[in-house]
Amino acid sequence: MANGILTQECLKELLHYEPETGIFTRLKRTSNRIKIGDVAGGLNGGGYIQIRLFGKLQQAHRLAWLYMTGSMPEHEIDHKNSDKSDNCWSNLRDVTHQQNSHNQRSHHSNNKNNVLGVMKNNAGFAARIRINYVPIHLGTFPTKELAHEAYLIAKRAMHSTCTI
């Protein structure tokens, strides 16, 4: 670690990353509790894998990016399949916060319809999507399922980074 900044070279001295599985294993003993070959890290409360290096917890998906590219990600790391613990290289991509939100698969907690992109109104169920933070009305439908279907079609067409 040079000047307090973790480098790819330093990371590769401490850990091995398997791109096919997304698993990091230890290459060096850094304490009495750690053995060479141990799987590194564990799940945090948010479902992400964290690995302690030099006394600091690091997000495994960000370490995978450093390991494979030689630099930390410019933005956020998106797990394409929305599984926060799946750090396979093919599942990771560097995206903006807005692009990362395009893969939201569940409704917000205040959504009483329990369906993403749908809200109840007097005429039925309205489908709405946001493009560059601007809400766009997609239509009103007799059922929340039809409204949700319209939302998904629009989402896939309008959000280039959407994987749902």
Hey, what domains does the chain have and what are their CATH numbers? 8-98 (3.90.75.20), 104-158 (3.30.730)
pTM of this structure: 0.69
Taking the C-alpha atoms of residue 107 and residue 114, their distance in angstroms, rounded to an integer, is: 6
Taking the C-alpha atoms of residue 65 and residue 62, their distance in angstroms, rounded to an integer, is: 5
Does residue 17 carry a pLDDT above 90?
A: yes
Residue 33's pLDDT band (boundaries 50, 70, 90)?
confident
Mean pLDDT for 27-46 is 92
